[in-house]
Structure 1
């Protein structure tokens, strides 16, 4: 159903290991079971170039449009999901969100923390967005995509309906190597039921 690209860096081994100790399995069989049960495929995404200036540009771009372009080229999925390696994710709830019926066949789902995507090109802030979800959503306007804001994708703490937990100032959870594992041990984060009425 969906490809989930987990954006990470070369030096982020600790973050990747923390994810493997929490919602993402550390062994192939466990990962396969997770993917089969949710309909989501998980891949770590790291961009690289031998040219320093290209690498600097790639580091900026990989967080935005480059991932979606490559994911679309390489994988045939109904959805393409981008998540940072410091985010605590509930794949079961993400799967339910993506399975929801939508009136528009092309939908960009995100947490528009700075407000809705501006669709009017004459608006003074049309090209100036600091929030990644709104920026990517704006780029997708040319494809006549519907935009869906989902608050559960940007929770500051685990709740009975949270899909993703992050701290905006840390591009995920602050000190993720420790905090992801700590969150996963909390019942409210990892043991609450998948089906929640607010996601339906």
Structure 2
């Protein structure tokens, strides 16, 4: 790693994250929070507007990722109660298509498809749990998809709200290909790659490609 890339990773990238997080909170998180809060109250949904889940971050440190809740409060229990569906969820790289996912609320599929559910992660970014760009923070179950050496490589960089996997297909890309994409970023992190990912992220969000 050259000196300039080291400076970018350790200092400039964090400054960019803070600026993006502040703008994201003001322009994305706060307006969407107000709208979703009103909808959830009108619909009579119980539970918090937010969903938190423990994920692995830099150097294997765990943190609570924050999302707008797109699922019913007892989502995990519902999923695991159907063994066949739960196995399909695992085999499908820990995802289900919206039309067969019993956990989603009426507006859950919409806020996922538009990536609105990700807006609260600007708070994670501001706190320093995440970067705007990096490998997606993963669950403990997903770590089994990586070897011990690959886990070390993956968790050697801060996880991101968007990254090489997301702009390469996101929900349409499954393990083990996802491992290759995430590890590619961890091994090749640079300003040039981050700029490319940022531009592709804007395109993916506007066209809603790969999000569900």
TM over 0.5: no
- Larger helix proportion, structure 1 or 2? 2
The alignment's TM-score, normalised by the length of structure 2, stands at 0.31
TM-score computed with the length of structure 1 as normaliser? 0.32
